[in-house]
């Protein structure tokens, strides 16, 4: 490979994919023209929610390895059977630091930062996942994109940074509060795209060495006026489930020991509003709601929701001036990248190991395609 690139991984939380177009996001579109914007976007695993998606993005590993299977820990601790609160395996950021490379993270979600163990990192904003007093917060208590902006520009200007991971949260908050297509959300998307423009300006002097990847963790869909689904409430499902946890339009369920799994799945998946299911391990079931439907929880977003198959599309854009960008572009043009494919790809670009990754290096995909 030519010179080791500088990699910038920029992630938007809950980016409404329908808003990716020249009128709303001219800078993202322009970036894609230097490489590729995957024609149908990328894919995340289910549930299509923040913590599992980011854990897989940065470790390159599936949920069975990361241990992060739900975002619902915001309502309290995750019951052990439904995963953990902190990622089990190494992130590509940790791997970069251990290899002596310069790595920095700038994040608009301090709770996610802890889930990913990025509070351990020396070069992190907010430092140790503690948002400095006086920082402007959005309605969900996370730093606004405007508050994060100076920190991400400063990190991008540091030429010693080999890997910069940036997370911007506000599109998720606005999408939840107003819906994915609302004027307020689209204004937030426009402002987020303007941040991309500022970032590209700062990266320009070293463009020849730069690879920019833009992703998101999940899409967002409008919540429809139906009651929330409680899989334990119906007479037919009485006694089938001994514990469950909602995660937006998805829910993890643990079946009661001794219950016939076949019968339980039949009844649970026939509930009003349930569209699909996945069987992940003995006695643990992931129920998926129909588009616009959501599961019962202590707090349900007003207007926009995610978690099921209807919101599993992500942004997937590569750009930059490094020669390797052309190969990455060819790869994602041919096959929608999954979130866990980006980690091993970044590791390869930086010449470091990511031992637990089970995603596919996107450069390897490009080679396989051209060989075949």
- Residue 248 C-beta: closest distance to Zn ion, Å: 7
120: tokens are 């351990």
Q: Do 49 and 247 touch, CB atoms closer than 8 A?
A: yes
Task: Spell 270-294 as b/e; 16+ CB within 10 A means b.
Answer: ebebbbebeeeeebbbbbbbbebbb
Give the C-alpha separation, 140 to 288, whole Å.
Answer: 25
- For position 42 contacting Zn ion by CB under 5 A, the verdict is no
Among 16-24, 170-178, 250-258, 289-297, the segment contacting Zn ion (CB under 5 A) = 170-178
- Residue 177 C-beta: closest distance to Zn ion, Å: 10
Among 97-105, 164-172, 226-234, 339-347, the segment contacting Zn ion (CB under 5 A) = 164-172
- For position 312 contacting Zn ion by CB under 5 A, the verdict is no
Among 8, 10, 14, 185, binds Zn ion (CB under 5 A): 14
Among 98-106, 134-142, 165-173, 265-273, the segment contacting Zn ion (CB under 5 A) = 165-173
Give the C-alpha separation, 346 to 277, whole Å.
Answer: 32
- Cβ burial, residue 66 (10 Å; 0-12/13-18/19+): buried
Q: Could you tell me what percentage of the chain is helix, strand and coil, using 3-state DSSP and rounding each to the nearest 5?
A: 40, 20, 40
Residue with tokens 């800078």: 27
For Zn ion, the closer of residues 107 and 357 by Cβ is: 107
For Zn ion, the closer of residues 170 and 172 by Cβ is: 172
For Zn ion, the closer of residues 148 and 366 by Cβ is: 148
- For position 138 contacting Zn ion by CB under 5 A, the verdict is no
Among 9-17, 89-97, 231-239, 326-334, the segment contacting Zn ion (CB under 5 A) = 9-17
Among 101-109, 166-174, 181-189, 203-211, the segment contacting Zn ion (CB under 5 A) = 166-174
Provide DSSP, 122-182: SSEESGGG-PPTT--B-TTSSB-HHHHHHHHHHHHH-TT-SEEEEEE-HHHHHHHHH-TTS
- For position 172 contacting Zn ion by CB under 5 A, the verdict is yes
For Zn ion, the closer of residues 14 and 143 by Cβ is: 14
Q: List residues near Zn ion by CB under 5 A.
A: 14, 172
């Amino acid at each position: 490979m030519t010179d080791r690139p500088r990699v910038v991984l920029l992630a938007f939380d809950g980016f409404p994919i329908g808003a990716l177009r020249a009128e709303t996001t001219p800078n993202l579109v322009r970036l894609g023209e230097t490489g590729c914007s995957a024609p149908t976007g990328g894919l995340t695993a289910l549930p299509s929610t923040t913590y599992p998606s980011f854990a897989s993005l940065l470790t390159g590993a599936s949920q069975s390895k990361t241990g992060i299977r739900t975002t619902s820990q915001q309502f309290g601790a995750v019951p052990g059977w439904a995963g953990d609160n902190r990622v089990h395996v190494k992130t590509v950021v940790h791997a970069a630091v251990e290899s002596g490379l310069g790595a920095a993270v700038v994040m608009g979600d301090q709770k996610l930062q802890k889930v990913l163990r990025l509070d351990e990192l020396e070069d992190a904003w907010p430092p140790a996942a503690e948002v400095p007093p006086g920082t402007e917060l959005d309605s969900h208590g996370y730093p606004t994109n405007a508050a994060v902006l100076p920190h991400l520009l400063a990190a991008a200007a540091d030429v010693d940074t080999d890997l910069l991971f940036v997370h911007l949260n506000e599109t998720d908050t606005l999408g939840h509060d107003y819906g994915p297509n609302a004027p307020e959300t689209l204004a937030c998307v426009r402002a987020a795209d303007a941040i991309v423009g500022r970032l590209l300006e700062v990266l320009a002097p070293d463009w020849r060495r730069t690879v920019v990847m833009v992703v998101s963790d999940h899409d967002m869909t409008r919540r429809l006026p139906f009651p929330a689904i409680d899989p334990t409430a119906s007479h037919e499902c009485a006694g089938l489930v001994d514990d469950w946890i909602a995660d937006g339009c998805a829910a993890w369920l643990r079946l009661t020991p001794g219950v016939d799994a076949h019968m339980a799945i039949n009844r649970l998946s026939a509930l009003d509003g349930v569209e699909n299911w996945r069987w992940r391990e003995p006695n643990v079931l992931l129920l998926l709601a129909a588009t616009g439907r959501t599961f019962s929880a202590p707090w349900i977003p007003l207007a926009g929701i995610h978690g099921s198959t209807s919101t599993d599309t992500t942004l997937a854009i590569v750009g930059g001036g490094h020669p390797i960008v052309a190969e990455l572009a060819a790869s994602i043009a041919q096959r929608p990248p999954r979130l866990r494919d980006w980690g091993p790809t970044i590791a390869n670009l930086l010449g470091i190991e990511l031992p637990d990754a089970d995603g596919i290096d996107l450069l390897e995909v490009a080679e396989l395609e051209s060989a075949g």
